[in-house]
Chain A
Amino acid sequence: MERGDGRKADEMRPIQMKVGVLKHADGSAMVKIGKTIAIAAAYGPRELNPRHMQESDRAIVQCNYSMAPFSTKERVRPGPSRRSTEISKVTREALEPALFLKDFPRTTIDVYIVILQANAGTRTAGINAASLALADAGVQMRDLVTSIAAGKVEGHYALDLTGEEEEITECDLPIAYMPREKKFTLLQMDGHITKDDMKGVIRLAVKGCEILYEHQRKALLEKWSKEGFE
């Protein structure tokens, strides 16, 4: 099967990842998948104010996803929306399982994601960038969190849908996945498919995550080898 942009069903759009892109964040990363560009900053663990939000036995994670007003065809109104609030929440829940929160009581780990350009898969690009930013900040992690969506387009399972494919897919199923642990940390689906299709689509997405994992490791190594930690 050939897709609109000439890719194979299990082929991802071109991937570009860079770690340490922001000077003032503790950790940062840029992830570009096709035309989607996500940039993430991580801070912490750091003091949490107001104090009543502190947890006496663990760190909390605060996550914010937002889209730059110029990131889409029609301008996005600045400020939070219902969509961005939900994505912030599922992103936080996708990242939290990778962190050792019990080691940092009373603190916060903050993650900020800005989508500079959107063409489908912004939440997954954001999670990939956020996971790299956390690793770059030196926060201990069980594993990197990778994330990608898959669907079923014109009768075939298809990895990493584009905006055009999102219009015609039978389902849109983003996952976040820790490849070493083989555990899912995000799972969403909208569409209408059979159980077998669901399994097939998830399996394809996992394959995508394994590819992304290699890209993430390479991006981190690239930065750290520059700093002399071979």
Chain B
Amino acid sequence: MSFQSRYIASHVSKGMRLDGRKINEYRKIEIEINPIEQAEGSARVKIGDTEVIAGVKLEVGEPFPDTPNEGVLMVNAEFSPLASPEFELGPPRESAIELARIVDRGIRESKCIDNEKLCIKEGEKVWMVLIDVQPLSQDGNLIDAAGIAAITALMAARMPKYEDEKIVYEKTHEKLPLKEIPIPVTCAILDGKLVTDPSLEEEDAMEGRITVTTTQDGRICAIQKGSVGLLTMDIIEQAVEHSAEEGRRIRELVKKSL
């Protein structure tokens, strides 16, 4: 363990963080709606110096055979070396895939998209909702930034027209059929304590990580434990409580930004 990591862990035990935040304090969140005009919907989310753009594209494709009357959702993340010298070119590695899958799970399991309304012709044609996450700066907690950007981009999206079996990429006023706002909140575990919204340095030092995605009614729609650390029942309960509370605050922020 590096000196910095030990320093960070030892200060967490005294309730202190390198950037002066409280243990349970989130960094400032900034949300920009539709920075990318060509996308059906997009959002730029900054959490401190972490920055992510998520874009929603809509295509028409075949439904899965087991859900012939439901739209298709896909979340993809590419970690470009723009965002961090640690990232390398090439197909997504495990951390990018994990991130995309956590975001995907939050959206899918919260049933946030009314999938049946995305059916154009049962068994043949449905709308495919493709969410792409492009990190611009990795300064810790990319997962939350990606999750918040993805749901905000969905909420900001407008359906293109579909005429004569072809998509006309011209914005209409019609929104995506959404009924939930899932929000992920990630905490690092340092010195056995939950540390909200870890910075890059804290991520390097952390023993473990837990992401809890909650919906408006405070129910949980996705959980992911990350990194090698151990969790106690107590920590899990704390994380769920805290994420629901922080999630509520962030959800209001998202609604206000639109």
Contacts and interface: CB of A to CB of B under 8 A. Distances in A.
Interface string A8-31: 000000000000011111001000
Contacts of A155: none
Contacts of A116: 35-36, 53, 134
B57 A70 contact: yes
Contact of A79 (B56, B59, B91): B91
A78 interface: yes
Interface in A117-147: 117-119
Contact of A117 (B36, B49, B57, B81): B36
Interface string A36-68: 010111010000000000000000000010101
Contacts of A119: 38
Contacts of B55: 68-71
B11 to A, nearest CB: 23
B238 to A, nearest CB: 31
Dominant secondary structure of chain B at its interface with chain A: loop
How many chain A residues sit at the interface, stated as a range, is 20 to 34
A188 to B, nearest CB: 24
Given A23-B49, A24-B83, A41-B81, A117 B136 contact: no
B136 A112 contact: no
B197 interface: no
B236 to A, nearest CB: 32
A23 B89 contact: no
A94 interface: no
B63 to A, nearest CB: 18
B42 interface: yes
Dominant secondary structure of chain A at its interface with chain B: loop
A133 B230 CA distance: 42
Nearest to B84: A24
Nearest to A46: B85
A43 B81 contact: yes
A74 B59 CA distance: 8
**Which one of B38, B85, B134, B169 has the highest number of Cβ atoms from chain A below 10 Å of its Cβ?**
B38
Nearest to A39: B82
Nearest to A64: B89
Nearest to A78: B78
Contacts of A75: 57, 59, 130, 132
Nearest to B81: A112
Contacts of B56: 70
Interface string B119-133: 000000000001010
A136 B92 CA distance: 28
Given A39-B82, A43-B81, A116-B53, A73 B169 contact: yes
B38 A78 contact: no
A72 B132 CA distance: 12
Nearest to A113: B82
Nearest to B136: A22
B130 A69 contact: yes
Contacts of A79: 91
B76 interface: yes
B78 A70 contact: no
Nearest to B36: A117
Interface of B: 35-39, 42, 49, 53, 55-57, 59, 76, 78, 80-85, 89, 91, 130, 132, 134, 136-139, 169
* In the A-B complex, the 6 residue pairs with the closest CB atoms: A70-B55, A69-B132, A70-B39, A75-B57, A73-B169, A41-B82
